[in-house]
Chain A
Amino acid sequence: MKICVLVKEVPDAAVQKRIDPGTMRLDRSGEKNLNPFDTHALEAAMQIKEGGAIPVEEVVAVTMGPDSAVRALHKAVALGADRSVHLSDEALAGSDVCATGYALAKVLESESPDLVLLGQQSDDGECYTIGAVVADHLQMPSLTQVIKIDVTDGKLRCERQAEYGYDTVEVALPAVISVGDAINEPRYPSLKAIMGAKKKPLDAKATGDVGIDAGQVGAEGSKTAVLALNPPPQKEAGEIIEDEDTNETVEKIVAWLDERKLI
C-alpha cells in the first residue's frame, strides 16, 4: 500500500510569532521547522512499513506551502519518507481551513493513497481539524487524535482518548488518520539520511496540476475572514509570596485557601 503523510512547515518554536498587521496573517518569515506533531505521523508510517503486517510500497510526504516549505519535506524524507510532493501556488496564499482542506484533498487525490497520516495539530495555527476536512473530501473514513494503530486483516484498529474514556475503533482502508503525540517516540534522522534527503524525488505541483479550482482557494476562496485582532483581556496580577520562613509561608497559604472556602 501507499501511505501519504501530510506535513507542514511551521515557525521555529523559539521564534516569537507575530501577525502581519497588513494581511492579518501569520508572519511566516521566521526560521522554519517541520511541525513537531507531524514527526509522530511520519514515525507511525515508518512503523507500519517496518512492522510487516501489511506491505508498504511507498511513504510519500505531502505539503502545501511557499517555496521554503521544501525544507520541511527534506526533513520528512530524512525521517524515512521515500519521496515528497510540494503543492505551491500564489493562488493558495491566505487559504483558511475550508480552502486548505480542499486543496490538500486534491493533491492527495492525485496520489491515490491507501492511508493518509497527519499530526493531530500544527504548532502554528493550532488547527486540529484538517484531517477530518480532508477525509470528507476524499470520501474516506477518518479518526483523529489516535494514540495506537494496529494493522490486522487489511484494516486499522485504532485507539484514542475521547470524551468518556478510551475508544477502540476499527477503520477500513483507505482512510485518513491523525495521530496524537503519545503514539510514539519519533526517531532521529541519521546523518546519512539527512545528507541523502535532497537527492530523493520531490514533485512540485501547482493548483492546475492537481485540478484545484482556483476560485475555492486563497483569501478570495476562503469562507472565513479575520475582521480584527485584539490583545487578550489582562488578568489582574496575583499576589506573590517569597518563601523565607516556610512555617509563615504555609500559614499564609492556608489563610488564603480558607478565605476562599477551599479547605
Chain B
Amino acid sequence: MAGILVYALHDDEGNFNKNSLGAISEAAKLAGEIGGEAAALVVGDVADDACAALGNYGAAKVYRAKSVPEGLAQPIVDAMAKVIQDNGISYALFGGGLLGFEIGAGLTARLGAGVTMEVTEVKVQDGKLVAERPILQDSQIADVGYVGEPGIIIGRLNAFDANETGGSAAVEDVEVELSPWSTKATMVQRGEQRGADVNIEDADILVGGGRGLGAAEGFKLAEELAESMGGAVAATRAVVDAGWYPYAAQIGQTGKTVAPKLYLAAGISGAIQHKVGMQNSENILAINKDPNAPIFEFSDLGVVGDLHKIVPKLTEAIKAKKGG
C-alpha cells in the first residue's frame, strides 16, 4: 500500500503541533493522488479520542506507541521504522520542526532511505512523490525524487496547512522495542520557559528589530510600536548576538520561524537567514534607510527612511487612531 506516515508531535498536555497537523492534511491529499492512505504515529499515552481526532485532518489510521516517550528523536525513530516496515509504507512526512529533522534523519540511516529537508511543496509525478526544496538561499528550487522506498520528506516550518475535513481515525496500538542507543539520552526537563514569556510564533503582529535600531536601547522604539498594535517584538540574529535582545525572540535560520498577519521589519536588511524565518508572513512592512536593502525585494510596503524619525510618529498615530 502506497501509504504515507506522519509523525504527530504533541506537548505534555497532549495538544498536537500545528506543523504536524499540517503534515497530516498534506499527506491525506497526496495519498489520495497516489492511491494510498495517510496514517499518523503518536507516541506516549495519548487518549483514544485525541488520537482518533487526527482523522479530522485526514489521517485514516493512527498508530499509537504508548510505551515510547515523546520529546527525543531516537525512540521515535524505532517506532516509525517498525510501523513503516510492518505496513509497507512508502513515505514518511514531517511538518517543520526540530524533532522532525532528527527523526527523519535517523530513519534515513535506519532504513537506507532518501531524505529531503526544508521542503516547501510536494507534488506527484508518475504516481510518485517529488519534493520541492529551495536551495542556495532560496535562489533555486530543486525537484527531488526518490530512488526506491521509503522516501522521507521533512517540511520547512509552516509549509503545510492544516485542513479540517471531518472524520475519525482508526487507532491501533503498536508495541515497539527500543534500540539500546535510543535509551541513552534522557529528558531531564522539557519545554522550560526562559526570559521573555511572549511566544512570538503565535503572535498576529510582530515588530522585528535589526541593527538599524542602533543600540539595545533602540528596542524601546520597537516595543512601543508593538504595544500600540497589540503585537510582540522579534529580533534578528545580529542583534541577539550583540546582546541587544534575548535569544528567545530570534527569528531566522538559527531561530524561530514566524508567519504573522503583519511583520513590521524595523532596521532589518533582510539577509536570507532572516528571510527564511519570516517570509511566510501575510503582510510585510519594512522600514530601512538603505534603499538597496534586500528586505525591500520581498516586502509588501517598503519605507525608505530613518526609523528613528518614523517609528515614534507611527506609534503615536496608531495610538491616536485606536483611541479615536
Contacts and interface: CB of A to CB of B under 8 A. Distances in A.
A129 B301 contact: no
Most buried by A among B104, B110, B143, B184: B184
Contact of A254 (B248, B304, B318): B318
Interface residues of B, number: 93
A257 B300 contact: no
B97 A163 contact: yes
Contacts of A127: 117
Interface stretch (B21-29, B30-38, B57-65, B144-152): B144-152
B191 A237 contact: no
Given A163-B99, A242-B304, A253-B285, A223 B184 contact: no
Interface string B81-108: 0000000000000000111011111101
A140 interface: yes
Contacts of A258: 321
B322 A238 contact: no
Contacts of B97: 163
B218 interface: no
A164 B305 contact: no
B124 interface: no
Interface stretch (A50-58, A63-71, A170-178, A199-207): A170-178
Which DSSP category, helix, strand, loop or mixed, fits chain B's interface?
mixed
B115 A97 contact: yes
A112 interface: no
Which DSSP category, helix, strand, loop or mixed, fits chain A's interface?
mixed
Contacts of B141: 229-232
Interface string B114-139: 11111000000100001000111111
Interface in A144-178: 144-145, 157, 160-172, 175
Contacts of A242: 291, 304-305
Interface in A57-105: 96-98, 101-102, 105
Interface residues on A, range: 35 or more
B304 A169 contact: no
Contacts of A125: 135
Given A129-B104, A144-B98, A254-B318, A223 B114 contact: yes
A55 B255 CA distance: 33
Contacts of B220: none
Most buried by A among B102, B188, B300: B102
A139 interface: yes
Nearest to B296: A240
A19 interface: yes
B71 interface: yes
Contacts of B146: 223-225
B108 A101 contact: yes
A39 interface: no
A25 to B, nearest CB: 10
Interface stretch (A1-9, A41-49, A187-195, A243-251): A243-251
A148 to B, nearest CB: 11
Contacts of B248: 161
A147 to B, nearest CB: 8
Contacts of A238: 284, 296, 298-302
B53 interface: no
B303 A253 contact: yes
B117 A250 contact: no
Contact of A129 (B115, B285, B310, B317): B115
Contacts of B306: 243
Contact of B101 (A129, A226, A253): A129
A181 B142 CA distance: 27
Most buried by A among B77, B137, B314: B314
A169 B139 CA distance: 37
Contact of B305 (A98, A121, A249): A249
B298 to A, nearest CB: 6
B109 A137 contact: yes
A168 B190 CA distance: 6
Contacts of B136: 17-19, 26
B165 interface: no
13 contacts: A97-B114, A101-B108, A166-B192, A167-B187, A223-B146, A231-B141, A235-B298, A243-B305, A247-B313, A250-B310, A250-B313, A257-B262, A260-B283
A-B residue pairs, 7 tightest by C-beta: A243-B305, A223-B114, A132-B105, A164-B191, A136-B109, A129-B105, A141-B184
Given A26-B136, A101-B109, 11 more contacts: A17-B136, A126-B117, A165-B191, A225-B144, A227-B144, A229-B140, A230-B140, A242-B291, A246-B310, A250-B313, A262-B262
